[in-house]
Amino acid sequence: MSDIIVTRAELPAIPGLSLTEGVVPSSLDGAPQPVIIGVPEQPCATPTPLLVGLHTWSADYRQQTEAFGPLCARYGWLMVLPNFRGPNLTSNPQATLAGGSLAAQRDIVDAVAYMQAEHDVDDRRIYLIGGSGGGHMSLLMAGKHPDLWAGVSSWCPITSLREWHEQGNSYAPHVEAVCGGPPSADEVPAGSRRSYVNFEYERRSPRTFITNAANTHVRISHGDKDRCIHVAQTWRTYEQLLDLPHRVELYSWSGGHEIVNEWGFAWLAQQVKPAEPPPRLDLVSDEGKWYHWLYLEPDAPLTMARAHAEWTSPTTLAVQVEHTATTRTNLSGLPVTRLTAAEREGQAVPVASLEFVDSILTLPVSAAPTSWQLIFE
């Protein structure tokens, strides 16, 4: 982390919180990304909880300093405010890197990694909060990095960029700017420019990955009179969890397009990341990455890999995958040491044919839906 630059900038004075402005190079493309860092004068504990605060759709990393800073001082939390590629606007010359892109997601992860390297962060109390465009990004990060957060407070979020575009409000041109164009309603040829754009709408929408967040403490708060982002969009997203056990809450009240920071912080303060790994995962992934103890990688561009994985007994793991180039299971920390039997679609598979190295079990490519049963001891 020696290449991180930290400077004193023109920042507001917040009693109880020391502020600096930093630059964190992206681990994805190396681009320098500004952040604001807050260190409490009286930490509530050591190690110390970390609050990651996100700006709204049209703003940048400086926006929430005076909103979140005093609350971090009150709670005794560390704070970092990432830029995640700036405003999601046509005026942003790098708009396609904003708006929930993989680069923007990585910027938030990098900001957390910086704070962990430079401060004594309580890894079981890392919190994320944002409203409107920040609600969109916080809920997207709950789905894409569910094992990072103790709690995610998402306010009046955009959960489907396609549906928000269809509202026809003044934000539609900006949605097109970040996604590369308008979405297509009809079937489009695979590999075409329009298929690429449609995929960007899908991969930047929290709804796509909401099942990934089933094991994360998430509260979605959305006023029922919001005319900017219709609450019905949020309800449709929440319904994706209907058939799953989950920790996601949806709170709606007689209100509009707003974030009540005091409520968000009070709820976050009650959340602690579970120490035990979740026994069940229901995953969708647009890139190769780990989710808790399962790694998924799509088998083709513009494709979502999907998996359901569940420990049906202490020694039996059932896995169903689709469109996966690579599926890996990390068994470290689990009370199993050796794979004794494997079945694919009900047919026995020689254990020796599966790669099992350093507690990582790798399953073969599965374009079609494929079911596995793995027995350990």
For 66-114, write each residue's pLDDT tens digit: 999 999 999 999 999 999 999 999 999 999 999 999 999 999 999 999 9
Q: What sign does the CA torsion over 253, 255, 258, 260 have? A: negative
* pLDDT value of residue 9: 54
Average pLDDT, the chain: 95
Segment 197-217, tens digit of pLDDT: 999 999 999 999 999 999 999
For 144-177, how does the pLDDT look when each residue is reduced to its tens digit (9 = 90+)?
A: 999 999 999 999 999 999 999 999 999 999 999 9
- Domain spanning 5-268: which CATH class is it, in words? alpha beta
Instruction: Give the pLDDT score at 249.
Output: 98
Residue with tokens 């680069």, as numbered in its chain: 103
Tens digits of residue pLDDT in 360-375:
999 998 889 999 999 9
- The domain spans of the chain are 5-268, 280-376
Q: In the predicted model, is pLDDT for residue 355 greater than 70?
A: yes
Q: Higher pLDDT residue, 194 or 103?
A: 103
Of 5 and 75, which is predicted with more confidence?
A: 75
Phi-psi region of 77 (alpha: psi -120 to 50; beta: other; left: phi over 0): beta
Structure tokens at 173: 């041109």
Helix pair angle (133-144, 102-118), 10° resolution: 80
pTM for the whole structure: 0.96
Does position 4 have pLDDT exceeding 80, yes or no? no
The better pLDDT of the pair 8, 24 is held by 24
229 vs 160: CA distance, rounded Å: 10
**Which residues does 214 contact at the CB level (< 8 Å), separation at least 6?**
146, 241, 244, 245, 246, 247, 248, 278, 280, 281, 282
Return d(Cα 24, Cα 34) in angstroms, integer.
6
Q: Tell me what pLDDT residue 1 has.
A: 37
